Structure 1
Amino acid sequence: MSGGGREFTGLTAVVTGGASGIGLATATLLAERGARVACLDVNPEVPEPLLGLAADVADDASVRAAIAAAHDAFGGLDVLVNNAAVGALGTIESNDDDEWHRVLDVNVVGIVRVTRAALPYLRASSHAAVVNIGSIAAWLGLPQRALYSASKGAVQALTLAMAADYVSAGIRVNCVNPGTADTPWVRRLLAAAADPAAELAALRARQPTGRLTTPQEVAAAVAYLAGPLAGSTTGSVLAVDGGMHGLRLPAGAT
């Protein structure tokens, strides 16, 4: 089946952080390819045919209620995309203990909470797949990203451990590591910079393609890993980063 097919027809999906950015792009693409999709978000306003459900991944009770509501609405659950996350700037000295706990609680333990709630339903599916959204920061030492990098490094390691734990149950677990994507969060960072234009140029220049990654490009990678055509792919980490991870180009080549 081609990439523009309807390979998700008859399947259901949950996308956390699904009301904007990469989450909304992913939910929209899965729906276009035939899935019924629920978006879990603290502000769950999403266009039809997406189903918006209020949930805070830092709150176990709200997560369990939302996952149960998605299952009840669709009659099953086949695909889980763990996208919800928060950003953080600075060195290890820049954030206090409370901020470290907050970011790790959302970015890492949030994946645990959502997946844990979804597992009984995923075990009942014959096409069960989990895709976690990591970051190029899990691979590269980026300045002023200590806390965020720590959280995304944990997501990558967690993905591999989950894949090993649940392969015998028929649940595939993979990870997508985007580069710097053109999302609302990145745009807010740019707006707060002393020279937004110069900062944007620097972000573009550090990716060998010379541009930011689009949410739709990340969504396409997620859809591949989540779909039936990737039935032999588990425990994989897919970079969608404009070549940041794999390429080393001569200075000025971009």
Structure 2
Amino acid sequence: MTISFVNRRQDPRGRRIIITGASGTIGRSLGERLSRAGARVMGLDLRPSGDEPFPVLGCDVTDPASVTSAVADALAELGGLDILVNNAGIGGPAPAEYAPGDEVHRQLEINLLGTWRVTAACVDALVAARGRVVMVTSRMAVMQLPLAAAYGASKRAMVAYADALRLELGTHVSVSCVYPSAVRSPIHDSTKAAGLSLEGMSVYEPLHGVVEAIIQTALATRPRRDVTTTRKGAVEFFLARHLPALTDRIVARTLAARAAAGAFDGAALAAGVVKRHRNRP
């Protein structure tokens, strides 16, 4: 389940790689590492900053025409594709008790359907090269946290998509999922602004460890199906998969403590959670 760092890697030199969300915290660091190692990296991002240390093309993963055009340009530049890293993703406040609105649709559209669109556009090139797909999912794909239902649902659905893709393309293309916990990045800003920060429920992990796990997965001679990024993450993954009722109790107890401590006071979207915890029998 966890990465074996003694697993041999393929030589990155000359490997043709596309990374989505390439201008963000993880994508930029990943692309820089791989480029320095000699890989040929093309990034896709909605808003390239222009100062990335590797080429990044503008691409809106919610727009099929934009995906088709950007992927075609990237493949033409690379001359094929060995590795696709589906890293693009967003988070945001989305309690499960409320009807899905724009925020929920946005997260599903980017995290799930955006991944699907880009992958579909790359399938022929990946099959031709007997390549690899790496899905940067989340620990929340297996262990949901409260007040962020859309993110967990989109990431769990992303894993389901990866499973289907593996069954369909597995004769020619390997498909792996990487499950990081939280990394400090702007992805958490909207949740924090809404007063729904999950600090105290999810522990931040170092960026370099997540990037290393993705690189190991992308280049491993024997790629793993599911890859966690820390020892703690491996334990959480195991418990969530095999003892889900136990993880539910742990998360629920932590939420109760956070609510009692006033962590969500004043947050409109958490009003129901706060009220129910204060009126518990």
Three-state SS of the structure 1 residue aligned to 2:171 is helix
- Residue 246 of structure 1 aligns to a residue in which SS? helix
Unaligned runs of 5+ in 2: 240-249, 251-281
**Distance (Å, rounded) in 2 between the aligned partners of 1:233 and 1:141:** 26
Give the fraction of aligned pairs with identical amino acids, expressed as a percent: 32
Aligned partner of 2:43 among 16, 32, 39? 39
* Superposed displacement of residue 184, structure 1: 2.2
Q: Does 1:92 align with 2:96?
A: yes
Q: How many residues are matched?
A: 235
Residue identity matched to 1:220: E
More helix by share: 2
Match of 2:211 among 215, 219, 225: 219
Q: Quick one: which of 31, 50, 56 aligns to 1:27?
A: 31
Three-state SS of the structure 2 residue aligned to 1:123 is helix
Counterpart in the other structure of 1:231: 221
Deviations 1:22-46 (A, max 9, x none): 1111111211221111110011125
CA contact (8 A) 1:140 1:245 kept: no
Q: Distance in 1 between matches of 2:209 and 2:196?
A: 27
Alignment TM-score, normalising by the size of structure 1:
0.82
Structure 1 residue 141: Cα displacement: 2.7
Q: Does 1:51 align with 2:46?
A: no
Q: CA deviation at 1:103?
A: 1.7
Counterparts in 2 of 1:93 and 1:33: CA distance versus 1, 3 Å = same
Question: Deviation of residue 179 (structure 1)?
Answer: 0.4
Consecutive unaligned residues in structure 1, runs of 5 or more: none
Letter in 2 for 1:51: P
Q: How does 1:44-123 map to 2 (within 5 A)?
A: 44-47=48-51, 49-94=53-98, 96-123=100-127
Q: What is the deviation of 1:72? A: 1.3
CA drift of 1:242 comes to 5.7
Change (3 A) 1:173 1:194: closer
Show the counterpart of 2:264.
Answer: none
**Conserved in 1, the CA contact under 8 Å of 2:127 and 2:169?**
no
Note if contact 2:88-2:111 (Cα within 8 Å) is conserved in structure 1: yes
Please give the per-residue CA displacement for 1:164-218, whole angstroms capped at 9, x wherever unaligned: 211112x11101111011122235644x36698xx75x25xx44xxxx2122211
User: Are the counterparts in 1 of residues 180 and 233 from structure 2 also a CA contact under 8 Å?
Assistant: no
Q: 1:95 to 1:29 in 2, by over 3 A?
A: farther
Aligned residue identity for 1:179: S
The answer on whether the counterparts of 2:134 and 2:217 sit within 8 Å (CA) in structure 1 is yes
Equivalent residue letter for 1:161: A
Normalising by structure 2, we get a TM-score of 0.74
2:148 equivalent to 1:145: yes
Query: What residue in structure 2 maps to residue 168 of structure 1?
Result: 171
* Matches of 2:6 and 2:32, distance apart in 1: 18
Of residues 216, 232, 235, the one that matches 1:243 is 232
Task: Tell me if the contact between 1:180 and 1:241 (Cα under 8 Å) persists in the aligned partners.
Answer: no
Secondary structure of the residue aligned to 2:154 is helix
Code of the residue aligned with 2:33 in structure 1: it is L
SS at match of 1:7: coil
CA contact (8 A) 1:136 1:241 kept: no
